[in-house]
Amino acid sequence: MKYVIIGNSTAAIGGIEGIRSQDTNSEIVVLSNEAYHTYSRPLISYLLQGKTDFERMKYRDDNFYKEMNCELKLETYVTAIHPDKKEIVTQTGEVIGYDKLLVATGSRPFVPPIEGLEKVEDPFTFMTLDSAKALEKKINEKSRVLIVGAGLIGLKCAEAISKKVASLTVCDIAPHVLSSIVDMECGERLKKHLENYNIQFKLGTGVQKLDAHTAYFQDGTTVEFDILVLAVGVRPNVELVQQAGGRVNRGIILDEYCQTSLENIYAAGDCTESVDLTDGNQKILAILPNAYRQGECAGINMALGKQRFDKAIPMNAIGFFGLHLISAGSYEGEEIITQDENNYKKLIVKDDLLKGFMMLGDVEGAGIYTSIIREQIPLSSLNFELLKERPGLIAFSRNYRDDKLGGRKNEH
């Protein structure tokens, strides 16, 4: 068997390890369009802050590819997949055959069609190691930076450079930060925290047009800048599968075994769609844990194992200057809110199930909430009053605790 994997990030690593759990000998070829050993993309902001270095950013150690008996081809761009011939073609014209193919091509920054964008010299993005390095070279203590987008990428970029520039403004057409994953109250609390670190915000109005150093907003105001960072979202890299005749929506369409509509071709990670366990909708769930699990599942099935990918949920765990935020699931249902001066927590309950939550500040026990969502544990089987205040295993039944902790089962 010959396995080929397009991509070298989280989903691809899951794919390699999934294959090797079933097949220890067959050939694996990994094709990456970047020049680097596999690394964790969420850590690029910490690299710019000086809190980490590339060695510590590596997603697996230096011996990984050798131990997994993989051939890694860096700076290799795949231009076409030919399913009928079971081969792919690279930018140099090289043809590589496969028996099973995993597409783990991830996503790319979305560049919005803003009038005058072409007048801005070198607008930056913030998704890859190269883009972060390029931004780091450009900024200095006199720089005026405008970041368009107050989502996760925009805010992590702001955190990374805020102490290295003269001024920093983050703008977004949404009325509060992280509008896709938290509510207004949570967003406002996070915004106030970030404002203590040389970060200004301009929310609820979009950029209407640009010239070389000025952004003109829909509300009639302007912001001067030297450096522009575009962080308004991403687009899944679906083109290879689409052009090969595979089914594609916003992301690549998969069955429950992570196979595309094309024979012998699987996909995983940010380029794909998954069924959200909490609301039953098919959507892109572009987060690291799902990418790994999906890649691992695809790898197992490519190697003729049998595993379903059926417990995907939206989830984010992130911190900004020491303030932690965790969110998971969907937000349609009864809202249960507890808050004080430093902490905010919202639980969403529907049909005797925990459907979602967000926690800002004290995030202890968030993993228990996530498990309840993922395992779809009926709340009526738990001490939910206790769980609302402080998540812990004591709120679960004795049998459940014994099972999860490996204790002695009750004898009958």
> CB under 8 Å to 33, separation ≥6 — which residues?
75, 76, 77, 78
**DSSP β-bridge partners for residue 252:** 248, 272
**328: Cα within 13 Å, side-chain hemisphere:** 22
Query: How far is residue 371's CA from residue 283's CA, in Å, rounded to a whole number?
Result: 21
Query: Residue 171: beta bridge partners?
Result: 148, 202
Please, what is the average pLDDT of the chain? 93
Q: At which residue do the structure tokens 């998969």 appear?
A: 254
On whether the CB atoms of residues 312 and 290 are closer than 8 A, the answer is: yes
Q: What is the CA radius of gyration of the chain?
A: 23
Residue the block writes with tokens 């510590």 = 56
The Cα 212–Cα 301 span in angstroms is 51
Does residue 412 carry a pLDDT above 50? no
The SS3 call for residue 403 is helix
Please determine, for residue 409, whether its predicted confidence score (pLDDT) is greater than 50.
Answer: no
pLDDT at 69 over 80: yes
pLDDT tens digits along 313-332: 999 999 999 999 999 999 99
Q: How far are the Cα atoms of 19, 205, 227, 265 from residue 241, in angstroms, in the given order?
A: 21, 36, 35, 9
The pLDDT of residue 366 is above 70:
yes
Mean pLDDT of the 190-194 span: 98
Q: Token pair 């150690």 is at which residue? A: 61
Q: Judge contact between 193 and 321, C-beta under 8 A.
A: yes
Q: What percent of the chain has pLDDT over 70?
A: 95
Beta strand ranges found along 218-352 (DSSP E): 222-224, 227-230, 234-236, 265-267, 274-275, 282-283, 315-320, 323-329, 334-339, 344-350
Name the pairing type of β-strands 144-148 and 78-82.
Answer: unpaired
Report the sign of the C-alpha dihedral through residues 274, 373, 324, 288, in that order: negative
Exposed/middle/buried for residue 313 (C-beta within 10 Å: 0-12, 13-18, 19+): buried
Phi and psi torsions of 146, nearest 5°:
-120, 120
pLDDT digits (tens, 9 = 90+) for 110-140: 999 999 999 999 999 999 999 999 999 999 9
Looking up tokens 């496969």 gives: 98
pLDDT higher than 60, residue 410: no
Q: Is 326 helix (H, G, I), strand (E, B) or coil?
A: strand
Instruction: Please check whether residue 369 is in contact with residue 380, taking contact to mean a CB–CB distance below 8 angstroms.
Output: no
More confident residue, 21 or 381: 21
Nearest CA to 136 among 34, 45, 43, 55? 45
Rounded CA-CA distance 337/344 in Å is: 8
Least confident of 8-22, 199-213, 324-338, 370-384: 370-384
CA-nearest of 363, 361, 388 to 372 is 388
3-state secondary structure of 325: strand
> Backbone dihedral region of 355: left (phi > 0), alpha (psi from -120 to 50 degrees) or beta?
alpha
Question: Which H or E run includes 103?
Answer: strand 100-103
Report d(CA 205, CA 326) in Å as an integer. 27
Q: Is residue 31 predicted with pLDDT exceeding 70?
A: yes
DSSP state of 259: B
Provide the token pair at 251.
Answer: 């992301």
Closest to 74 in 3D by CA, of 87, 56, 91, 57: 91
* pLDDT exceeds cutoff 50 at 220: yes
Q: pLDDT band at residue 408, thresholds of 50, 70 and 90?
A: very low
- Write down all domains in the chain, each with its CATH number in brackets: 2-108+234-302 (3.50.50.60), 117-230 (3.50.50.60), 322-405 (3.30.390.30)
Q: Are strands 144-148 and 323-329 parallel, antiparallel or unpaired?
A: unpaired
